[in-house]
Every structure is written in C-alpha cells, then in structure tokens.
Structure 1
Amino acid sequence: MTLETSTVVPDLSGLHLGAGEAAGDRITGVRTSLAFLPLGNPISDAKVFTGRQKPLTEIAFVFAEITTESGLSGLGWAYSKRAGGPGMYAHAREVAPGLLGEDPSDISRLWTKLVWAGASVGRSGLATQAIAAFDVALWDLKGRRAGLPLAKLIGVHRDTVAAYNTSGGFLSMPIEAVVENAQRSVANGIGGIKLKVGQPDRKADLARVAAVREAVGDEFTLMVDANQQWNRQDGLRMGRALEPFGLEWIEEPLDAYDAQGHAQLAAALDTPIATGEMLTSVAEHAELLRLRSVDYLQPDAPRVGGITPFLKLLALAEHAGVSLAPHFAMEIHVHLSAAYPHTAWVEHFEWLEPLWNERLELRDGRMVVPARPGLGLSLSDQARAWTVETTTAGTLSVN
C-alpha cells in the first residue's frame, strides 16, 4: 500500500518572484515518491567479500514529478543502494514546497535555492542527492517544452554512445556464469564488459579476468572494477599484473577519497585509471582533475546533485582532456555522454528497465540517444506498484 500525503501552500501567483517572472510559467505541483526496486538475486562486489557491506538486494528510488500551470510536466529521480533511500525521500519532500510558484526554466537558481534550504545538513552527500530528483525533472521538463531530447537541448557531439555492461560480472556469480554472461552480452551487441575484482584472493581476480579475456578475444573492450578495496601498494601490484590483459581501465582501485593515490597509479601504469562514482560534489571531482588522478572521470548525476552540477563537471573534464564514463543511471547518462566532446562511454544496466515504459536501444556496441523529448521516459505501472510512500505539494496535473 502506498502512503500518500499532501502539502497545502498559499497562492504565490501575486508575489514578486525575481528572475523568473518574464517566462510566464509557474510550477503548480510537485509529487515526490519513494519506491524500492527488488533485484532477482543478491549482488556482491568486493565490498561484500571484504565484509564492509551486505549483498545488494534492492535499490531505493526517489521520484519527482513536476507540473506547471501551462500543462508541462517533468520526471526525475535519484537513488540509493543498501541504505539511505528513506532519508533522501524525507529530505526531498521537506524542501519540495520551495519549488511552488517558481519558473521551471530557472534551473540553476532553483538548484541553489534547494541546496541552501537544507544547507544545515550539508551541501553534498544525501542532501544534494535528494534534490537531484527535482533537478533532473526540471531538465526533463525543459526538454519537453523545447520538443528536444536532453542531449540535443544541451548540444550533442554524437547520436550514439559506446556502451559497456557491468551487471553480468559481479563476484557473487561463479566464473562459468560470468563467462556465459560475457559471451551473451557480446552476441547482444554490447561494446564492452566490466568485471568486478578486489577479492582478498588476488589470484582469483586474475583468473576471472583471464577466463573472460579468453572467451571474448583480445580485441574486445574489457574493464575491471575493484570497488575501492586495494591499498596503494596492492593497487600498484595488481595494476601491473593486469597490464597484459589490455584493459580499457581499472576502476576504483583505491579508496574513493584518495585522490593522491589514484594520481600515483595513473602516473605509474599504462592502463588508464577510472574513478569518481562515489563522490557527491563538483569540488571532489575537481580535485581528481587537479591532481590528474583519472584518465576516465566517472561522475554520477544523481549522486552529485543532478544534471546542473554534472554540466559543470563536463566543462572541467573537457578542459582537463580526460575521458568520461558516468556511473549507473544510463537513462540520464546516455544524454550527458552524448554531449561530451572527448571519448565517452555509458554503463548499461538492465536492472532499471522495469521502471520505465520505454527501452533504450543498443546498436553495434553503442547506445542510441533517444529521440523523444526530454529524457524520453515515463514511469511504468510496475514502478507505481513498488512505490511505498508519496507526498504531493501543490496541485499536480499528471496521473
């Protein structure tokens, strides 16, 4: 059963609202929802094998649906794995009424308004992840108003983006299943495959990589992800041991906050270094770029606070000349990677497909940028069924 609440607010149409007055449209309703997507089987990466986390069994989503007096609507979301979803939802529903009466075009100003509304609990982390749902919804709305996909609204450099798959390479799967999944992914047209490593037994890691490399061939794109489980010494040893496999990158070899250590590995190894997915602010990513800690920057739009801060990261990354491989949320990141001028990838996860009525297309190892306006997505009946709580501020004009 879904618990639904509502917030009644005064009519703001007659108030002076500053910079947004000229456009004439106003936000009239915001619906914020909490849903839990169950996974078919528990998922484990190196953090589970080292005892730092429990297996992943579900993903929490905070959905935001925004409507305006002109009849426009936008859909956005944020997410959390293992813990934090209810906290994100609580923060989001608390600040949501601040959007009512505002011009939806003033996205940067509204992001600043929302982040300062909750500044006493911080301007990164859970607080900014919660408002990411609203920021994404506003960008979706803006694309729908313009009749353009988000990528075209920003300005694309490509209509398809190289795509790699992660969901078939988790450590909870026996090596035989990983090899089978890799071969199936290649047959289905994926452009690359990422394997989880970082087990206490380093030889087991190398054996998994060797088995998949043999199965897919020397020319196929292969990556590995240690999920922050090596120290600097082990990271260097494993990086050198992995060099013969011709990897596209080694992801998160060290603690996510060890920018200096990643810089040392990037300088010492031929294999590119990738990291950034666990960071929750522009400033943290900027430090990676300043120290030249990455060859592939991996920001996550919902984790850094939405599309607005992500676009700032695109500018910084372009200036630094690094490649881009955003984490998770392919439905958002296919648009953002298409708008990046340098080498860019998108991470393919079929886990989220039940949430949407639409599907993303893979073609010749690449993900096709949807032609539908905005993000080109609508919530499925299944997503509604997985929703456990909903709060509405103002008057919503969508179903």
Structure 2
Amino acid sequence: MDRIERVTISSVTLPLSVPVSDAKVLTGRQRPMTEVAVLFAEVTDAGGASGFGFSYSKRAGGPGQYAHACEIAPALLGEDPSDIGRLWDKLAWAGASVGRSGLAVQAIAAFDIALWDMKAKRAGLPLAKLLGAHRDSVRCYNTSGGFLHAPVSSILERAAESLAAGIGGIKLKVGQPSTSVDLTRVTAVREKLGDDVPLMVDANQQWDRPTARRMCRAFEPMNLVWIEEPLDAYDFDGHAALSRAFDTPIATGEMLASAAEHMALIDAGVDIVQPDAPRVGGITQFLKVMAAAERAHLQLAPHFAREIHVHLAAAYPLEPWVEHFEWFDPLFNEHLEIADGRMHLSARPGLGVTVSDQARAWTVATHEVTA
C-alpha cells in the first residue's frame, strides 16, 4: 500500500457579505458574525492519490485549530491512508494533552475527512456510496435567510427565493428579548408560506427552562418540523423533558464537540440529533453518533457543512434533513444540485468538491509537512 507522503494545511478566512445575528448576539453573549475561519487539509500518498477535508470555526477558534493541525500533522507521515480509525487515534494521542473534544478534535476532523475522501476516490465512488447509501437525495432546508437581524419582509423574500430554487423547508431564528416578537415573526411566516411548507425554529440555546416550556406550548399549533436548541446545549435532561412533554419534536446537538457528548444526549432522550462532522472530529466519529442514533430510532439532521453532510445523511436509514447554507459556495468549484425539496448526490468520487481560486485568494496561512 502507498504511504502518506505529504500533508498540506491551509487557513482560509471566508467573509460574510452581511453581518449575521442570532439569539446569542441579542443576549450580549456574542458579537455579530462577519466571517468564518475554515481549515483545509490535503493528504497525498506516494502514488499521487490525494484526499481533501475541512473543518471550520465561527467567531473564534480558527487560529487555534490551524495551529493544532500543524502540530499533529507529522503523525500521518509514512502511514497507510486506509487505516482511518487507527490514524484518528494516533492524531488524538499526538495532541492528548488538550483532550478529545472541542478544538482538538475539530483539527483532527479536517484530516479524517480528507482520508475518507481519498478512500472513496480510490474506490471511484461518491463518499455516500462507499458508506452504503440509502438514497440518492436528501430533504433540505434553508437557514441563512432567517437570522434575527433580518426584518420579516426580508425573511419572506428569502424564503420565497429558497423555495423557488427547490429547497424543501425554511428555518427561522428565534430568541428575541421579547417572546411576543418571536411569536409575531413566526406567525407571519407561517401564514404567508401556508401549512404545507416545512418550517423550523432555532433558539440557539438562549431560553431558560420555564421560557422554553412556554414557547414550546405556544408553538404547538404552528405545525413546526422541530424546535431547535431551546436550552443550553449541555442541558440534556431539559431537552429530553421537552421532548416528552410536547408533540413538536425537539432538535439539538450541533454545538456538541465529541461523539461521547452525543452519546450522553441520545441516552437522555431527544427527538432529533444534529451532529456536525467537523465539530465532533470528522466522519469516523460522526459514524459512531449515527449508529447510536439509529439504535435509538431517532431522526437525524446534521448541522451546516452540507458538502460533507449530504453524504452522511444519505447513508442514514431513516429519512433525514440536511441544512442548506450557501456561505461555502465560493470555496468550491462544484455545487450540489437542489430540486424538488431535496439535495442530490453527485456522481463525482469522494466528497465531489475541489478548492476554488477564490478560496486560495482568501488563504491567510499554509503549512506543509513531507516524509
């Protein structure tokens, strides 16, 4: 077998055209988001085969991910790229002093995803087909038009554009200081779109338990697909209690930064899990979360990073959802086909994306290690 001969790491700063705000900004806990830090990794073996992966960070953490990736990358040199599980463990031990969650595994994720991309390319298969796809397309919904900084008129305009473009559902941010404002905004969108359009809301962890119960009760008549992160991401018991108390499904998990944290959430009991492959440590760890969710008969709705998650969602037995964000479009030369409410797999091998010239122009640092 060929051995890994070169690893290239790049830090890319993706600017957002408009600063965006969710409930964390309105509560004063975070500032509006103006950019996303993206970590690229390319792994090349002695035979010239290569794989591409990425991770990301919002608001803070990007330089830390890049620095940690540069530190642990030499552990891959000389290794068989097919031994992905063993290499994940090796990378984790290379950075063991910073633990096995959070920034540490988010840096590993870029390498892990690159190794899976290489494996699928070697097999001549899209990643979903290598994993064992259950479908060739996945239901998708748009979030990027529903942030709290946008007035209702803009949200309705963006929602109409998204639905006309073939996207299947719309998600709105909630968590205003006044809950009545949330109810007014969501009611206006539901009335405009009608009952047949899938509609979700996302509080981004900003309610306490009494407020969450009141809001879940108020939203019950609106036929929502789910209510997302009504409580702190680590309040597993609180989310489970809401899942038991209300008919509207409760979704959470995007902020969890390891497979172990997801196992605790699944054990507590929740309706919909929302793992994020770059945040939990890559595809190797995501597959562990996916298996646990399947055993518990839970719905799956991966967070962000659709270029990765469309493949993973396609391999999940129960019909999932994938989140549509167009923010990463400038980074890649290829884009996923969206039609009839669904995101369609391409026939391209691996992840099916290559890095664009624009991404290279936004690159702020590059590091390479060779055998």
TM band (smaller chain): over 0.9
1:46 paired residue number: 23
Instruction: Answer yes or no: is 1:318 the counterpart of 2:294.
Output: yes
2:354 paired residue number: 378
* Identity within the alignment, %: 67
8 A contact 1:183–1:215 mirrored in 2: no
What is the CA deviation profile of residues 275-312 of structure 1, one whole-angstrom value per residue up to 9, with x for unaligned ones?
A: 000001111111111111x2110000000000000001
Q: 1:66 aligns with which of 35, 43, 46?
A: 43
Instruction: Give the residue type in structure 1 aligned to 2:342.
Output: R
Instruction: Answer yes or no: is 1:359 the counterpart of 2:335.
Output: yes
1:302 paired residue number: 278
Instruction: Answer yes or no: is 1:32 the counterpart of 2:9.
Output: yes
Q: 1:256 aligns with which of 233, 248, 251?
A: 233
What is the CA deviation profile of residues 232-276 of structure 1, one whole-angstrom value per residue up to 9, with x for unaligned ones?
A: 110000000001110000000000000000011001111000000
* Matched position secondary structure for 1:351: coil
Bigger CA radius of gyration: 1
8 A contact 2:5–2:46 mirrored in 1: yes
1:161 paired residue number: 138
1:108 paired residue number: 85
8 A contact 2:12–2:39 mirrored in 1: yes
- Stretches (4+) displaced over 2 A: none
In structure 2, distance between residues paired with 1:296 and 1:260: 14
In structure 2, distance between residues paired with 1:72 and 1:92: 21
1:128 paired residue number: 105
Q: 1:369 aligns with which of 345, 348, 354?
A: 345
Instruction: Give the residue type in structure 2 aligned to 1:247.
Output: L
In structure 1, distance between residues paired with 2:236 and 2:99: 22
What is the CA deviation profile of residues 5-55 of structure 1, one whole-angstrom value per residue up to 9, with x for unaligned ones?
A: xxxxxxxxxxxxxxxxxxx11000000010100000000000000100000
Which 5+ residue runs of structure 2 have no aligned equivalent?
Answer: none
In structure 2, distance between residues paired with 1:356 and 1:317: 31
Instruction: Give the residue type in structure 2 aligned to 1:237.
Output: R
2:126 paired residue number: 149
Q: How many residues align?
A: 371
**386-395 vs 371-380, which moves further:** 386-395
* Matched position secondary structure for 2:47: coil
1:343 to partner: Cα distance: 2.3
8 A contact 1:186–1:216 mirrored in 2: no
8 A contact 1:252–1:275 mirrored in 2: yes
In structure 2, distance between residues paired with 1:301 and 1:88: 15
Instruction: Give the residue type in structure 2 aligned to 1:300.
Output: D
The two structures, once aligned, show a CA RMSD in angstroms of 0.6
8 A contact 2:138–2:319 mirrored in 1: no
Instruction: Answer yes or no: is 1:392 the counterpart of 2:364.
Output: no
1:215 to partner: Cα distance: 1.5
In structure 2, distance between residues paired with 1:380 and 1:186: 27
1:329 to partner: Cα distance: 0.1
2:267 paired residue number: 290
In structure 2, distance between residues paired with 1:238 and 1:342: 28
In structure 2, distance between residues paired with 1:71 and 1:129: 26
Which runs of structure 2 are paired with 1:218-233 in the superposition (5 Å)?
218-233=195-210
